Structure 1
């Protein structure tokens, strides 16, 4: 690993930690300038091509997915770590499918389910575009459905 400060290639690992998403965090020290820095490693597994609605195919883009979810969660009390976790779970699920191509609808469904559990407002924002809720009645019906689910899940005390 090259030192980001002096570009020397001789570094030593001081500490290594693993998280549940398969990411390895290493604390390193340069043997030349003695500066310390952190590196993150994650496995690069093959992700399928995404088949868009119009039939075109494109590579899975983790950053594009992350941007879309962040937009839905803008100005909401959703921690960045929760958004990262959702994107990581979706990416891992796609990799584990082992398919060469996946319909974009599969990813959208995973995002919808994930946002429903994170934040209802972010879910509605995403659903307006994804589910093509074209008028106020369709949006209201979706909100009513969410409220109904929420009241069914609340246990009386």
Structure 2
């Protein structure tokens, strides 16, 4: 691992930690300049090609997915770690499917379900485009459905 400070080629690992998504964090020390730095490693597993609505295919792009979810969560009290976790879970699910190609609809369903658990406003923002909520009545119906689901799960208490 090249040192980010002096570009030295050698470093020694001081500490290693793992998380549940297979990510490895290593605390390192450069043997040349003795500066310490952290590296993050994650496995690069094959992800399927995404089949778009128009039938075209493109590579799965983690950054594109992350960007879309961040836009839906803009100015909401959603921690960046929760967004990263959702994207990681979606990427892992796609890899576990073991398929060469997956419909973009599958990914959209994963995002919409994840946002529904994460933040209702972000869910509505994303849903306006994804669920094609193209008028106020459709948006109102979706909000009413969310409220009804929440009342049922909270014992008739409204928290939205």
Q: Which category describes the TM-score, using the shorter chain as reference length?
A: over 0.9
Partner of 2:97: 97
Q: Matched residue of 2:145: which SS?
A: helix
Unaligned runs of 5+ in 1: none
Gaps of 5+ in 2: none
Cα root mean square deviation, aligned:
1.0
| TM-score, length of structure 2 as denominator length | 0.96
Supply the distance in 2 between the matched residues of 1:96 and 1:79 (Cα, whole angstroms). 26
Give me the TM-score of the superposition, normalised by structure 1: 0.98
1-structure distance, mates of 2:156, 2:148: 15
1-side partners of 2:56 and 2:134: how far apart? 24
Instruction: Indicate the residue corresponding to 1:135 in structure 2.
Output: 135
- Structure 1 segment 54-93 matched on structure 2, within 5 A: 54-93=54-93
Q: Which residue of 2 aligns with 1:155?
A: 155
CA deviations over 1:99-154 (Å, ceiling 9, x no partner): 00000000000000000000000000000000111100000000000001000101
Query: Using a 3 Å threshold, how does the CA distance of structure 1 residues 77 and 16 change in structure 2: closer, same or farther?
Result: same
Provide the C-alpha distance between the structure 2 equivalents of 1:111 and 1:31, rounded to a whole number of angstroms: 44
Output the CA distance in 2 between the equivalents of 1:122 and 1:37: 35
